[in-house]
A = this chain, B = another copy of it.
């Protein structure tokens, strides 16, 4: 069984402090190869530093993983804020922006599913520090969509929100194990059809 990652990707050593370099590299490697498949040594090396420095910034690999997921959750949050600012008072447009982004994502060749969901698959131990992050994020995501569906004055907002949420979640998993040509476009058609079906 092959494991580990020998990808030497010395990152821009520029002014960026080690902690940020480590996080950036870890995010890339964890996502592409899986969390359990990537060793801390490989991360440190790819970040142009060493294991000791990594352990000065993160208490353990598990904590590094949790921080990696926390960063992603934050990034998703700021995406929502961006869409809210771009379409103020127009929840339906915000939903569409989300749908569009996911569709693009899913069709991009580098799609490997939702990093948070993948982490949940790889780390079933219910006391893992990453699980709190994952559960909080997924619940927040679902609540946000439900709220937007309600604000958009669509019928049965909770049910519609679940439909959309699960549809996109499913698309992201499936993209890893099936052809995804045209999936993005189909995804938008499906999402729009669901929204239309809940028009009052």
Residues of chain A whose beta carbon lies under 8 Å from any beta carbon of chain B: 1-3, 32-34, 36-37, 60-62, 112-114, 116-118, 120-125, 131, 134-135, 138-139, 142, 159, 162-163, 165-171, 173-174, 176-179, 186, 189-190, 193-194, 197
Give the residues in chain B near A171, CB-CB below 8 Å.
166, 170
Contact B60 A159 (CB under 8 A): no
Q: Which residue of B lies closest to A186 (CB)?
A: B162
- When all copies of this chain in the complex are counted, the total is 2
Main secondary structure of the interface of A (DSSP, over half): helix
Contact A190 B162, beta carbon cutoff 8 Å: yes
Q: Is the Cβ of A121 less than 8 Å from the Cβ of B116? A: no
Question: Among B1, B33, B131, B189, which residue has its beta carbon within 8 angstroms of that of A61?
Answer: B1
Report the minimum CB–CB distance from A105 to chain B (whole Å): 14
User: Would you give 20 A-B contacts (Cβ < 8 Å), ordered by A?
Assistant: A1-B60, A1-B61, A34-B124, A36-B37, A36-B122, A37-B124, A112-B121, A113-B121, A116-B177, A117-B173, A117-B174, A117-B177, A121-B121, A121-B173, A121-B176, A159-B190, A159-B193, A163-B167, A167-B167, A197-B197
